[in-house]
A and B are shown apart, each in its own frame.
Chain A
Amino acid sequence: MAPPRKSKPQRPPPPSRTLVLDNGAYTIKAGFVAGHIADDPRVIPNCITRDHDGKTYVASEIAQCADFSEAVFRRPVEKGFIVNWEAQKEIWEREFLDDKAPQPCDPSETRLLLSEPSNSLPVLQANCDQMVFEEFGFASYYRGLSASFNAYHDTQAIFRAQTEPLSSEPLPVRPPAVAAQSPAELVLLIDSGHSHTTVTPVFQGRPIHPAVRRLDVGGKFLTNYLTHVLSLRHYDMRNETYIVNEIKEAACYVSLDFKRDLERSWKGTRGERREPYISGGGIAKDYVLPDFHTRSQGIVRDYDPAQAFRAKRPAMGESSEDILTLRNERFTIPELLFSPSDIGMRQPGLPDLVLQSLHCLPQGLWPGFLANILVVGGNSLLDGFTRRLQEDITKLVPDECTVRVARPPNPITNTWQGGANLARHPQFDSLAVTKLEYEEHGSVWLARKFAAGLGP
């Protein structure tokens, strides 16, 4: 007899309860869907953290951590795939399976909907299936491409919200009831996450596999590059991944005119006094580093030339703040998404990648996909990301094509929301596999069934 649950005693979990899990490399997005009601997803850091005192925090315990200086992380997800099950199991148990977990559930009465990135290795998929059934014992389970979940939205509403101020042209209106029932017809999904950026054409909720393309630049890569640059030019930040990540999220932006911005942030040749450099030129920002005593959050503020002058002469005024002046670091870092060759990576930038993906498709589908480009993932929150992407793609494709790039209201949980919509889809029951079926048919059959997905 299991001890009674304290958190949700009033509602015993019905068998139709589904745990929707978007297991990202940086955060897990998790929530339950019961019947037609979906909870709001909880965003859980998917890592085990150790601070400089040697104290360890698992997943959402990180909220108790007050001092992130020299914090180190262990992440079970590598390149988007769950690789280290030892750590992942611990995190799942603490978040979902233990009695005192924040989102408790009984796996034997719960369905699991798990997202995975495209082009996974078969052995990793098999490991995942085995863990889900043999270790956790979920009642039934579906593993699908996270990109395709995003089609289960009223995507046209997202595009309307994006383009409304620009064009007054009426677009075909889709009743919302229909949108919840069936996936969007065509979406070119760009998912720019922690480990990589993928381009996936999704046709009626099903990915077109030969056209999936990946760029190995993600949020982690950008953070590490910013760390490298800052350590070279300012302070040694090599052990301060957490702080640098905050700097990146707060201060970095995607430049709409790279050459101009670079010109304005240049200090000039020797002896030259360039006005935009001295005044900051609207680009330079001061980042006040946290010291974790009086300030646990860094602050971005406009560049103050007087402050910089004072900092050079410590006698003139005691400053208790550590200030990092960011200039071209603000936009050359996210620029790597658009041209990774800047640091010698031999991979095409995101606009080229979109084009490479389109070249695998019949030309008749180009206009449809180009007009429905959806960006999700944490990097899409960078200022100017969607606009720059739209401009760059427009330059590469035929003139007649309309290019629309939109970002959903919450690009981080959008995949989860789509997954929750899929879990409420009438056809979802035919997709999921029960534990009994798995025990009867085995993992090879399971892999084939998930690969086939929804039939035409």
Chain B
Amino acid sequence: MNNFGVIEIASAKTTNAPGWAYVPDRQQQQHLIPAGTTNRKRARAAASGGAQLSFADANARQEAKARRDIDALDRDNAREVQIAIPAKPKGARAGGGKKFTPNVRKILQSQKTFTNHLDDYIALQSQQDANPTPTPAPSAANSGNANSRSAQRQASTSKRPSAKLEPEPEPEDIEMPDASEAPQSTILTRHAPPPPHAEDGNPLLASRLPPLPSDDELCALLAAPPLSYLEARGTWPPTTGGHEQAYPTRVFCAICGYWGRVRCMKCGTRVCALDCLETHQQGCITRYGL
């Protein structure tokens, strides 16, 4: 494909919409090149997110292609097909003569896809964000660890009517025998403690359990509103696993699927070895020239 040096920039916009909607451009402006470097490659790597990105050196064109490929994998059929609803067999209840209510007619005639609905929803959200009304925000994302941790602390320090006799459990881990003496919860099902054992007092065998959440905390969790569709998606890179740096992503041979150990010098596609490289170059040369 000779595109005369025009490089397509990755874009999250979807255009095949009947009707239209304002879609806010939520792309993060990551193209801040660190001032210290004069190295062209380093600046480029930093601009594309550095090592966090799966393909650290992928340029905008490859990125757009990857995104297109992934979007293509979400389709029902390989090509666009229109399947009309077949006529009812004879003898079935005639539904055609029935009048639809206006709502129902609107729903039935809507040709919107899920993407259209999602774009509408995002546009509506951003509109609400822009000029907030007195009504509370529909959902507060509580995805951070720090948030829930602070909520936990807050809840554990607040007064509970059920905790009358027992002392307040420490926010730190406590020993297992203590767990059974924790204040009685009205929500959690009470289980009998395990039968006593001769070695229970052995400090080497002591197991530590984090304290169970209080009733208030559980109620707050259960009453929390659902996240929006996009917020519920897993966050990338996955840094919540304790290790800050995610594992480097794996690259595979574009031809046979083995590890992608070498790179085509023309287009940067990964292949495993000479055989696959030659197979790849047959297509690559017709695309990019010698």
Residues of B within 8 A of A99 (CB): 91-93
The answer, yes or no, to whether A100 is at the interface (CB within 8 Å) is yes
Residues of A within 8 A of B290 (CB): none
The answer, yes or no, to whether A262 is at the interface (CB within 8 Å) is yes
Inter-chain contact A361/B240, CB cutoff 8 Å:
no
Residues of B within 8 A of A220 (CB): 74, 76
Given contacts A98-B93, A212-B232, are A241 and B77 in contact (CB under 8 A)?
A: yes
Instruction: Name the interface residues of B241-277: CB closer than 8 Å to any CB of A.
Output: 241-242, 249-250, 252, 255-259, 272-275
Given contacts A93-B95, A241-B78, A364-B213, are A270 and B273 in contact (CB under 8 A)?
A: yes
Contact of B101 among A100, A135, A339 (CB under 8 A): A135
Residues of B within 8 A of A203 (CB): 218, 221-222
Whole-angstrom distance between the alpha carbons of A101 and B173 in the complex?
Answer: 59
Given contacts A355-B241, A456-B222, are A130 and B85 in contact (CB under 8 A)?
A: no
Instruction: Name the interface residues of A211-250: CB closer than 8 Å to any CB of B.
Output: 211-216, 220-221, 224-225, 227-229, 232-233, 238-239, 241
Residues of B within 8 A of A120 (CB): 229
Inter-chain contact B225/A451, CB cutoff 8 Å:
yes
Residue of B nearest to A345 (CB): B70
Whole-angstrom distance between the alpha carbons of A74 and B85 in the complex?
Answer: 10
The answer, yes or no, to whether B37 is at the interface (CB within 8 Å) is no
The answer, yes or no, to whether B108 is at the interface (CB within 8 Å) is yes
Contact of A134 among B75, B101, B207 (CB under 8 A): B101
Inter-chain contact B103/A214, CB cutoff 8 Å:
no
Residues of A within 8 A of B273 (CB): 268-270
Given contacts A83-B113, A97-B93, A270-B274, are A221 and B188 in contact (CB under 8 A)?
A: no
Inter-chain contact B226/A355, CB cutoff 8 Å:
no
The answer, yes or no, to whether A396 is at the interface (CB within 8 Å) is yes
Residue of B nearest to A351 (CB): B241
The answer, yes or no, to whether B6 is at the interface (CB within 8 Å) is no
Q: Chain A 273-302, CB within 8 Å of chain B: the 1/0 string?
A: 000000000000000000000000000000
Instruction: Name the interface residues of B54-83: CB closer than 8 Å to any CB of A.
Output: 54-55, 66, 69-70, 72-79, 81, 83
* B227 CB → nearest A CB, Å: 6
Whole-angstrom distance between the alpha carbons of A22 and B246 in the complex?
Answer: 37
Residue of A nearest to B259 (CB): A262
Residues of B within 8 A of A75 (CB): 76
The answer, yes or no, to whether B130 is at the interface (CB within 8 Å) is no
Inter-chain contact A135/B104, CB cutoff 8 Å:
yes
The answer, yes or no, to whether A436 is at the interface (CB within 8 Å) is no
Residue of B nearest to A332 (CB): B257
Q: Chain A 37-69, CB within 8 Å of chain B: the 1/0 string?
A: 000000000001010000010100000000000
Inter-chain contact B104/A362, CB cutoff 8 Å:
no
Stretch at the interface among A121-129, A158-166, A304-312: A121-129
Whole-angstrom distance between the alpha carbons of A122 and B117 in the complex?
Answer: 10
Inter-chain contact A130/B104, CB cutoff 8 Å:
yes
Contact of A341 among B110, B226, B250, B258 (CB under 8 A): B250
Residues of B within 8 A of A150 (CB): none
Q: Chain A 68-80, CB within 8 Å of chain B: the 1/0 string?
A: 0000111100110
Given contacts A85-B107, A203-B218, A367-B209, are A98 and B92 in contact (CB under 8 A)?
A: yes
Instruction: Name the interface residues of A340-361: CB closer than 8 Å to any CB of B.
Output: 341-349, 352-353, 355-356, 359-361
Residues of B within 8 A of A239 (CB): 78-79
Whole-angstrom distance between the alpha carbons of A208 and B227 in the complex?
Answer: 10
Whole-angstrom distance between the alpha carbons of A198 and B231 in the complex?
Answer: 13
The answer, yes or no, to whether A321 is at the interface (CB within 8 Å) is no
Inter-chain contact A347/B224, CB cutoff 8 Å:
no
Contact of B224 among A210, A224, A270, A367 (CB under 8 A): A210
Given contacts A124-B117, A344-B55, A456-B219, are A360 and B142 in contact (CB under 8 A)?
A: yes
Residues of B within 8 A of A314 (CB): none
The answer, yes or no, to whether A149 is at the interface (CB within 8 Å) is no
The answer, yes or no, to whether B33 is at the interface (CB within 8 Å) is no
Inter-chain contact B145/A359, CB cutoff 8 Å:
yes
Inter-chain contact A134/B103, CB cutoff 8 Å:
yes
The answer, yes or no, to whether A387 is at the interface (CB within 8 Å) is no
Given contacts A83-B114, A131-B107, A209-B227, are A361 and B233 in contact (CB under 8 A)?
A: no
Given contacts A83-B114, A86-B85, are A362 and B73 in contact (CB under 8 A)?
A: no
Whole-angstrom distance between the alpha carbons of A234 and B227 in the complex?
Answer: 43
Residue of B nearest to A129 (CB): B103
Inter-chain contact A210/B91, CB cutoff 8 Å:
no
* B218 CB → nearest A CB, Å: 7
Residue of A nearest to B53 (CB): A346
Inter-chain contact B103/A100, CB cutoff 8 Å:
no
Instruction: Name the interface residues of A5-48: CB closer than 8 Å to any CB of B.
Output: 48
The answer, yes or no, to whether B281 is at the interface (CB within 8 Å) is no
Residues of A within 8 A of B222 (CB): 203, 206, 208, 456
Whole-angstrom distance between the alpha carbons of A63 and B235 in the complex?
Answer: 41
* A392 CB → nearest B CB, Å: 11
Residues of A within 8 A of B189 (CB): 185
Contact of B54 among A50, A341, A363 (CB under 8 A): A341
Residues of A within 8 A of B78 (CB): 227, 238-239, 241
The answer, yes or no, to whether A191 is at the interface (CB within 8 Å) is no
Whole-angstrom distance between the alpha carbons of A362 and B259 in the complex?
Answer: 40
Residue of A nearest to B256 (CB): A267
Given contacts A210-B221, A339-B250, A400-B208, are A224 and B75 in contact (CB under 8 A)?
A: yes
Inter-chain contact A131/B217, CB cutoff 8 Å:
no
Inter-chain contact A362/B234, CB cutoff 8 Å:
no
Residues of B within 8 A of A228 (CB): 69, 72-73
Inter-chain contact A79/B210, CB cutoff 8 Å:
no
Instruction: Name the interface residues of B114-137: CB closer than 8 Å to any CB of A.
Output: 114, 117-118, 120-121
Inter-chain contact A50/B232, CB cutoff 8 Å:
no
Inter-chain contact B101/A343, CB cutoff 8 Å:
no
Sort A-B residue pairs by CB-CB distance and give the 8 closest, nearest first.
Answer: A348-B238, A352-B238, A78-B114, A363-B210, A74-B83, A362-B213, A209-B226, A346-B236
A-B contacts besides A209-B226, A228-B69, A360-B145, 4 pairs, CB < 8 Å: A79-B114, A85-B108, A123-B117, A347-B234
A-B contact pairs, 11 of them (CB 8 A): A73-B77, A98-B93, A100-B92, A123-B120, A203-B218, A210-B227, A213-B233, A224-B75, A262-B258, A356-B240, A364-B209
